[in-house]
Amino acid sequence: MNAPVHLLDPAQPRHDWTLDQVEALFETPFTELLFQAAAVHRAWFDPTQVQMSQLLSVKTGGCAENCGYCSQSASFKTGLKASKLMDPDVVIAQAARAKESGASRFCMGAAWREMKDRDLPALARMIGGVKSLGLETCATLGMLTKDQAQQLKDAGLDYYNHNLDTGPDYYASVVTTRTYQDRLDTLEHVRDAGMSTCCGGIVGMGEARRDRAGLLHALSTLPAHPDSLPINGLVPVSGTPLGDRITAEGTQIDALEFVRTIAVARLVCPKAMVRLSAGREQMSRELQALCFLAGANSIFVGDTLLTTPNPEMSSDAALFADLGLTPMPVGAGPAAQ
């Protein structure tokens, strides 16, 4: 077992983490790990505030990628019917309802391998309309070229989501239709355009702890840490290779290991919004509370996340009330040090 990592100034962002150091954080005694993560969280954020985002699938199904967890891949028979890009006015109306429900960021996701230039006018209308409501805007549209990233920035997009999914050593066990470098290239284009990055991954796909450390090591050594860092728990979907395998094996990630992943994410990317993302529908209230204690300060609200279930707004409101949490204001970010 690696020795626990003791940091002289744990709240200061650094980009020189080694994989062994990140793995050693996972092996820190649980209560000590949560104490360190909570202290770092408080150095940058109000620990009673949680950002509320809402995610809408603006183009569902038919994706050419073969991500082994995804119900929207054209490679798998999941019973999901592919649809065309939604009308911008319908998207804007849904964003307005999301704002009324307390969301401060509205995220638009399209099941594409890469964005096509022909779709940019409709996307620009969506982005502009959502932004005019006073919401932060985010999109996940697959791979981007440098020029496409700039056009999305010019349209008013604030955040672009492009997950690494897992550590580089486990990546080929998840998807083979694009490389890790493809993902890194898109993130570079997004940063160069001046947009904020939203980048994280999925745990519970059969990976080892070192693979989870590998994901967080990759994120923490990017030229700029992700502004938002979603940690998704795999939601097994029947018909997908990983969903069927994990269901058959019964090997979903241990709850305390999930909390460790949240805590390590907070430690290695201290200024990021660490989002407790997919999988919350299957999490107990107590597990979610531990995740907030460990440094999670963002969630998705609404009944669905693209195609998977999410807790009802009333359940989240009750949990927030019991924990003394409040929605984070629009535009809030890490405090200056």
Read off the pLDDT of residues 92-130 as tens digits, 9 standing for 90 and up.
999 999 898 888 899 999 988 888 999 999 999 999 999
Question: What pLDDT does 1 receive?
Answer: 46
The region of weakest confidence among 1-10, 154-163, 276-285 is: 1-10
Confidence band for 205, pLDDT divided at 50, 70 and 90? very high
Question: What pLDDT does 26 receive?
Answer: 97
- Per-residue pLDDT at 304 exceeds 70: no
- Average the pLDDT over 296-309 and give the result: 71
Other beta carbons less than 10 A from residue 176's beta carbon = 12
- Per-residue pLDDT at 73 exceeds 60: yes
Residues 6+ apart with CB under 8 A from 239: 71, 76, 77, 78, 79
Whether residue 153 contacts residue 194, with contact meaning beta carbons closer than 8 Å, is answered with: yes
Residues 100, 102: Cα–Cα separation, whole Å:
5
CATH homologous superfamily, domain 19-323: Aldolase class I (3.20.20.70)
% the chain with pLDDT above 70: 93
Between 263 and 73, whose confidence is greater? 263
- Average the pLDDT over 71-86 and give the result: 83
Cα of 167 vs its chain's centroid, Å: 15
Helices (H), 116-208: 120-132, 146-155, 180-193
Q: Domain-by-domain residue ranges, the chain?
A: 19-323
- Average the pLDDT over 31-53 and give the result: 95
- Per-residue pLDDT at 307 exceeds 60: no
Amino acid letter at 337?
Q
- Average the pLDDT over 143-165 and give the result: 96
- Per-residue pLDDT at 79 exceeds 80: no
% the chain with pLDDT above 90: 67
Question: What pLDDT does 7 receive?
Answer: 54
Active-site residues, by number, are 63, 67, 70, 107, 138, 198, 275
Whether residue 135 contacts residue 176, with contact meaning beta carbons closer than 8 Å, is answered with: no
Between 243 and 91, whose confidence is greater? 91
Judged by DSSP in three states, 137 sits in: strand
Residues 20-36 have pLDDT tens digits of 999 999 999 999 999 99
Per the prediction, the chain carries an average pLDDT of: 90
Residues 308, 316: Cα–Cα separation, whole Å:
17
pTM of the model: 0.91
Question: What pLDDT does 10 receive?
Answer: 61
- Average the pLDDT over 34-40 and give the result: 96
Return the C-alpha torsion angle 215, 220, 221, 224, nearest 10.
130
Residues 275-302 have pLDDT tens digits of 998 888 888 999 999 999 999 999 988 6
The region of weakest confidence among 152-156, 163-167, 237-241 is: 237-241
Residues 262, 135: Cα–Cα separation, whole Å:
26
